[in-house]
Amino acid sequence: MVRAAILSAVGAPLEIAGIELPEPGPGRVRVRLAAAGVCHSDLSLSNGTMRIPLPAVLGHEGAGTVVSVGEGVTHVAPGDGVVLNWAPSCGTCPACLIGEVWLCDSALAGAAGIHARTAEGTELHPGLNVGAFAEETVVAANCVLPLPAGVPLADAALLGCAVLTGYGAVHHAARVREGESVVVLGVGGVGLAVLQSARIAGAGPVIAVDVSPEKEALARAAGATEYVVASDTTAKDVRRLTGGRGADVAIECVGRATTIRTAWDSTRRGGRTTVVGIGGKDQRVTFNALELFHWGRTLSGCVYGNSDPSKDLPVLAEHIRAGRFELSALVTERIALDGIPAAFENMLAGRGGRALVVF
């Protein structure tokens, strides 16, 4: 019996309770969690913005140590440090065959399976495949990536979502080039990863935008050269900071219609806007046909940073070892399992960066 955070129904409070995990069968791995990040996507799952089978153990950003493996698992062994991959690719669907593994048709197929049971026998699903808000979890082998050498185990949890998403948004989705100006809207965990990644790309100026004035120091430490408190004049403020032209690239990390529109308006003619934030289907963004022609801008979505974790983790590990990317700089709070609801409230209020559940 291990402790876990269970979502029984949309909008219900998380329940911290004991669950019973099965022993890993063929192609499965049991992992003892060292830490799990509290991502905005977890909040979106709890309030119904995103839907998964329920009841479920939430949490998708985690790292830990292999406890045991099932038959056929050879790439990790008991005692190995691992990063959990919530969106594993199948390698055979049309998206995977053309190299777009982040759009794999089967990436979330495991979320429909039975993951564990409560003490009363209620069947539980794994939230986004991995059920990381638990002391231990059992996952498919392709949800487990070996921990790169020289990366701290607890902080490595952030590699499972925030860092891969932020790094990929800059280097894969937006394809930021050295010397380009970048504006980042939303300074949460992913936004902080975007700022660090823009610095690595050699962007400049790098402008951070957030509703909270208190996040300025956090943003500048991550790589922002300018800071703007969000308002009705944000787009004008960004143009002022970029010589009157607007930013070459805008990366939106909030997922709201107003911030997506502001990101678009903040870019220069021919600029690029990448939307990382996950919004509800009621968040509608409108454009008129003339402005699409006149501005010549591009607007694109971004899933998991358009990343291939097997290829990107070694690159990120080298940046971490060299001191170019600091994982701990994303973490503004280290909490226990029962601190997750308060972390959700902080996200709703726009406070802090990433909260990290440490086991």
The DSSP symbol for 141 reads G
> 131 pLDDT exceeds 90?
yes
For residue 205, cis peptide bond before it (omega within 30 degrees of 0): yes
Q: For 134-164, what is each residue's pLDDT tens digit?
A: 999 999 999 999 999 999 999 999 999 999 9
Count CB-CB contacts under 10 A for residue 157: 30
Confidence of residue 314 (pLDDT cuts 50, 70, 90): very high
What is the band of 51 on the pLDDT scale with cuts at 50, 70, 90? confident
pLDDT attached to residue 49 = 86
> pLDDT category, 47, cuts 50, 70, 90?
confident
Check whether 64 has a pLDDT greater than 90. Answer: yes
Share of the chain above pLDDT 90, in %: 89
State residue 111's pLDDT score.
86
- The reported pLDDT for the residue numbered 218 is 94
pLDDT of residue 190: 95
Structural domains of the chain, ranges and CATH numbers in brackets: 2-160+326-358 (3.90.180.10), 164-303 (3.40.50.720)
What's the whole-number average pLDDT of the chain? 95
Task: Give pLDDT tens digits for 174-193.
Answer: 999 999 999 999 999 999 99
pLDDT at 46 over 90: no
Q: What is the pLDDT of residues 73-117, one digit of tens each?
A: 999 999 999 999 999 999 999 999 999 999 999 999 888 899 999
CA distances from 316 to 231, 273, 321 (A): 34, 23, 9
Instruction: Examine the pLDDT at 232 and tell me if it is beyond 90.
Output: yes
Tokens of 288: 């008129």
Residue 66, pLDDT > 90, answer yes
Two tokens at 174? 């937006």
- CB count within 10 Å of CB 293 equals 8
DSSP 184: E
List all residues 6 or more positions away from 330 whose beta carbon is below 8 Å from its beta carbon: 158, 162, 163, 189, 192, 193, 222, 353, 354
The DSSP secondary structure of 195-226, one letter per residue, reads HHHHHHHT-SSEEEEES-GGGHHHHHHHT-SE
